[in-house]
Structure 1
Amino acid sequence: MLNYSSHNLLLKAVILGATLLSSTSAYAEDNNLVKINAIAASPLTKSQVIAQAVVVPGANNMSQVNSVSQLSDVQPNDWAFQSLQYLVERYGCIAGYPNGTYRGNSPMTRYEFAAGLNACLSRVNELIVTGTSDLVTKEDLARLQSLQEEFSPELTTLRGRVDSLEAHTAELEANQFSTTTRLFGEAIFVITNAFQGSVNNSNTVFQDRVRLVLKTSFTGKDTLNTRLSTGNTTTLELPDGTAEGLQTFNLAPSNNNLSVDWLSYYFPIGNKIDAYIGAVNGVFFDFVPTLSPYLDSGTGGSRALTEFASSSPIYRIGGGGGGGINYRFSNKLVLSLGYLAGSHASPQTDRGLFNGQYSALAQLAWNPNNNSGIGLTYVNAYQNRGAIFDLGSGFTLVGTSQANTSFERTITNSYGVEAFYKFSPRFAVNGFFGYTNAKNLAGSGSADIWYYALELAFPDLGKQGNLGGLVVGAEPYRGGNSSPANDLSLHLEGFYKYRLTDNIAITPGVIWITAPGQNDDNKDAVIGTIRTTFLF
């Protein structure tokens, strides 16, 4: 057992300081190093062993302090105050947590004590070598020797682990892909079919999409994303050319061709601004909060099945090259501004970064707490080719053909409100409402386009990592007396993501589109899907 006599200032000073300094020692490189197989002893607390100056090593979460007054939870009337003060003044080897606390009642093990003792020995040796040996008395050294003998088995074990860790680390460094870049991957296998409502009596198909993302950081705070994609997905054809029910995995190069389909750069500007540059296929939901915390995975394969269910269609008006910022007034209030051009790379007339198709967004998002949020969004856009809701590609992602291709050249003003509320960790409600006014620049006339949805999310349904979802709403449709019909088309979707492992999930689901193409004469479309997603 440890001796808790109050006069052991060496243990108060040197051992504690060294243990805390283990945050900068080899032991600190593995936060769990001293916890593995720590079966030997009953846990102590910092306060109980402060006379020995032992604390739980802070790993990567500790920082040097120069005065005991910097530790907000240590008071002059604490019984260990003088010991802590002694550490700072005599040995300069005490550290605290980043929030300025010491956490004197945190538990520790004998292995953790041994780790601190070993680091303390290094600190004493440093003081001797640097000519400050007068700080280390013979009494101090005698007590250190006694402790070293008592904890010799633990020290030997720890040194062996560190040697193994250093060898393993050296091997990883010698064979690592890059010092600045990490590789992430997603592979999707899908079996899907439109059981009714397809114009070509489609058969059941098996399709795939693979994405590899290289994430590079040059400063530790920035991220350059380079995504390589391939796949053989083909969209199911519904009546009147409608894009309703389009699934997220459908966005992929055809015939398993490989291409760089996303290139973006994120970086901070000061403490309040997060900036974004989209060089290839930039989209607003790359950086703008969509207030759909459980269903939105962008165009990924981890959450909702369809583009419509992921988040409001207002974020899919335009795209391409450009950038934007998020300005944080506070942790609760964020202003987002963005500009993207669909034909940014072309020098031709009516093209380019500023003379061709573009979309400009402004959004104010308020999150009063972690369980709720609301956003107000405005988008001004110009389309001279393709669809309105197209991410700048000309390929329709959501909505009916009447809503997307109202006119040859169009200027649009769109207004949206998005919100969510988490009733509990296992139940949340999302919702959005949007209106777009499209004006004909090639003639006269305008069109009113509407879209809205109510969405229920069930995180961890049946098992941690699972997700259930129910969606009912209307994809973008043209109101008024549009041709050939102006019937209301509804989107209903249900899915259940079952996580087999941390890296594999299977998501069966059904998508039901009533009156596809805004036409009650068209048979309802019912699409069944089984999606398997591999993350690596």
Structure 2
Amino acid sequence: MSKILWKSLLLSPAILGATLVVSSSAIALEQPQQAEGQQDTAQAPATDYVVAITDNTDNTVEQNTTVSAQIINPSATQPQTVAVTQVSPAPITVAQATTAPVVPATAPEATSVESLDELNRYSNEGRGNVNSVAQVTSVSQLSDVQPTDWAFQALQSLVERYGVIAGYPDGTYRGNRAMTRYEFAAGLNAALDRVNELIAAGTADMVRREDLATLQRLQEEFAAELATLRGRVDALEAQTAELEANQFSTTTKLVGEAIVAVTDTFGDDVEDNTVLQNRVRLDFQTSFGGSDVLHTRLSTGNAQPFSFSAYNPAVTPFKTFEGTQTFNVSPNFENDVFVDWLAYDFPLFGQARGYIAAVGGIHSDYAATTNPYFEDYDGGRGALSTFAQQNPIYRIGGGAGAGLTLAFGGSGVLRPSSLTVGYLADNASDPALGAGLADGDYAALAQLNFNLGDRVALAATYVHGYHTTGNGIFDIGGSFDSSGQSAGPIVGTIQANNPSALLPTGDVPTVTNSYGVSAALRLSDRISLSGFGTYTNATLLGRGNGDIWTFGGGVAFPDLGKEGNLLGIFAGVEPTLRGLDAPGVVGFERDYGLHVEGFYRYQLTDNVSITPGVIWLSSPGQNNDNSDVVIGTLRTTFNF
């Protein structure tokens, strides 16, 4: 829009006066941009224009003095000077950009308007912009304007001699950003006021016939630009009116994801069939102030995890949660629609942020997981498995509650870092005894996250949890029973999730204290390393104690083969019960089983990706006697 507005500045005497003004972002030194819509190949590329007025004598313009209007463009190499007779009783300091190249007028740009971003900017102009401009009296007040800038002299003159330049409250000028219609109107108004002052101070014969002829010729030369401007403005207004009349909400946007996956298991003892599964999430993101977000997410799917039910007859019935994939995380497996996440993220004092979840909250919503490229919040663009996506410590508990993040650092070696605390309750909406916000399952988190330079991130995490009888540990707030039929644990073995099931006296409540570390190292823009480890001490109330371990690490190769692609390789040990000191427990297996995963996300289009991948599990059910399992998946993800 700014390109055509500048061209129109040469179409009348009043508009010529406006070229002496820069309001907020008026005379912008912008890099050439590709024209919106399709251009005819015979047309010159679209450019941005700035007009500088110079005289032909000694830095002043007296009455009846001929001056030059130069059309300045950063992408050209030779100036074009158009003679214009300027009459003024007051001297005007020369604002000549000798280092700035210029270009002749070009053919009109294409009038088609296809950019939704441009429509959004157009429709939002003037709606309570907090970045209001303020008049400045010295160019030194503009922190982002330097004496070496090609337009410095012009800005200095307009600020200090004529007082028609405004800056932003933070002391910046933002000369490289596009102006809005309101900013242009403010600048034009200031310029016209100054022109009126000059005319009022002059005589009746200030304007000569030759001046009018010159201006008429300029108007004819730029008639095509004016017609293009009218057409584009009309098109913008029509499309904006249509969008506003049919928009869903002025404060809400929809972010959706649909996953369709073909997957199967292979191994000597597995009996699962090849399945075609799906999961769909529709996240309505509402902002009331621009920096806050209310998430209202609907979810549905039918992607049940594999059971590996032939393993470990010592625990009957048996189900392991190893190899669970991200699209298996769903509140239901029957394609019923649920509100699976309702949460509000908002700014507080300073750099602090708050988080409140009414349903479906998990610790990774508000705490940094430090696992770049693999982490996608159980979406369809990261790792295949829930284990490779994030440290299982963030899977302990979930539901409703709140979190607080206090940011610190920001310069030198210590880059923006944070201290995070949070509390989530599994059954916060249940008023029964043993449930509710404080009397049922809960998990409290505290974490220190450090960013060292641009390439290193570290996190130290502690989670204290209470798990009532029949509820798993790594369950993100889902219920669990020994049959494994309800949505519950999503990572690790059944022994690690419910160690009290091994007691001869049956399940008891469990208290857990977990200590985790996570780290990420970006070797280059194309190679990233990350890893984690967590130890959990599980106290079986009145019965004994158990030790649970998990660790893993991976390497990611973003943009491999094509921008947007991702190759990921991850390996580790899912949560495994390594020790259990309790009366009557004998003979349970405590072997380590490896999880090795490889996947390659191919970005088919901006909205569609295809991810083939393989997960290999050794000693599933933490038992070396069990044969290995291989899970093969072809995942297609639609983001919109």
- TM normalised by structure 1 equals 0.85
Show the counterpart of 1:203. Answer: 273
Cα distance between partner residues in 2 of 1:140 and 1:445: 100
Deviation at 1:101, TM superposition (A): 5.5
Q: Name which of structure 1's ranges 379-388 and 477-486 shifts more when overlaid on structure 2.
A: 477-486
Listed one character per residue, the Cα deviations across residues 475-514 of structure 1 (whole Å, up to 9, x for unaligned) are: 0001136742111111110001111000000111111110
Taking a change above 3 Å as real, the CA distance of residues 514 and 271 of structure 1, as seen in their structure-2 partners, is same
Show the counterpart of 1:490. Answer: 594
Mapping 1:521-532, distance limit 5 Å: 521-532=625-636
Show the counterpart of 1:212. Answer: 282
CA contact (8 A) 2:392 2:491 kept: yes
Listed one character per residue, the Cα deviations across residues 515-534 of structure 1 (whole Å, up to 9, x for unaligned) are: 00111111111110000000
CA contact (8 A) 2:23 2:187 kept: no
* Structure 2 residue 354 is the aligned partner of structure 1 residue 250: no
Mapping 1:83-482, distance limit 5 Å: 83-89=154-160, 92-94=163-165, 123-124=187-188, 133-134=196-197, 145=215, 148=219, 150-196=221-267, 199=270, 201-238=271-308, 239=311, 240-252=318-330, 253-331=332-410, 332-384=416-468, 385-394=470-479, 395-407=488-500, 408-441=508-541, 443-480=542-579
Cα distance between partner residues in 2 of 1:337 and 1:265: 16
Secondary structure at the counterpart of residue 86 of structure 1: helix
Gapped regions of structure 1 (runs ≥ 5)? 1-9
Cα distance between partner residues in 2 of 1:426 and 1:183: 31
- Opposite residue 380 of structure 2, the aligned amino acid is G
Secondary structure at the counterpart of residue 154 of structure 1: helix
CA RMSD of aligned residues (A): 3.9
Listed one character per residue, the Cα deviations across residues 17-54 of structure 1 (whole Å, up to 9, x for unaligned) are: 25765699xxx9xx977898562679724998993799
CA contact (8 A) 2:362 2:424 kept: yes
Secondary structure at the counterpart of residue 51 of structure 1: coil
CA contact (8 A) 2:378 2:386 kept: yes
Taking a change above 3 Å as real, the CA distance of residues 467 and 132 of structure 1, as seen in their structure-2 partners, is same
Show the counterpart of 2:613. Answer: 509
Secondary structure at the counterpart of residue 256 of structure 1: coil
Show the counterpart of 1:3. Answer: none
- Opposite residue 282 of structure 2, the aligned amino acid is L
* Structure 2 residue 73 is the aligned partner of structure 1 residue 44: yes
Show the counterpart of 1:5. Answer: none
Listed one character per residue, the Cα deviations across residues 256-275 of structure 1 (whole Å, up to 9, x for unaligned) are: 11111111111100221111
Provide the identity percentage: 48
- TM normalised by structure 2 equals 0.72
Cα distance between partner residues in 2 of 1:117 and 1:479: 67
Cα distance between partner residues in 2 of 1:459 and 1:534: 19
Deviation at 1:339, TM superposition (A): 0.2
Cα distance between partner residues in 1 of 2:529 and 2:491: 21
Cα distance between partner residues in 2 of 1:62 and 1:140: 37
CA contact (8 A) 1:410 1:438 kept: yes
The number of aligned residues is 513
Secondary structure at the counterpart of residue 465 of structure 1: coil
Taking a change above 3 Å as real, the CA distance of residues 343 and 333 of structure 1, as seen in their structure-2 partners, is same
Q: Which structure shows the higher helix fraction?
A: 1
CA contact (8 A) 2:73 2:101 kept: no
Secondary structure at the counterpart of residue 95 of structure 2: helix
Secondary structure at the counterpart of residue 134 of structure 1: helix
- Opposite residue 480 of structure 1, the aligned amino acid is G
Taking a change above 3 Å as real, the CA distance of residues 62 and 280 of structure 1, as seen in their structure-2 partners, is same
Deviation at 1:222, TM superposition (A): 1.1
Cα distance between partner residues in 1 of 2:34 and 2:444: 48
CA contact (8 A) 1:317 1:381 kept: yes
- Bigger Rg, which one: 2
Listed one character per residue, the Cα deviations across residues 95-115 of structure 1 (whole Å, up to 9, x for unaligned) are: 5689756588x7x9xxx9xx9
Gapped regions of structure 2 (runs ≥ 5)? 1-13, 49-71, 81-93, 103-120, 126-130, 312-317, 411-415, 480-487, 501-507, 581-585
Mapping 1:3-18, distance limit 5 Å: 14-18=18-22
Deviation at 1:155, TM superposition (A): 3.0
Cα distance between partner residues in 1 of 2:564 and 2:289: 32
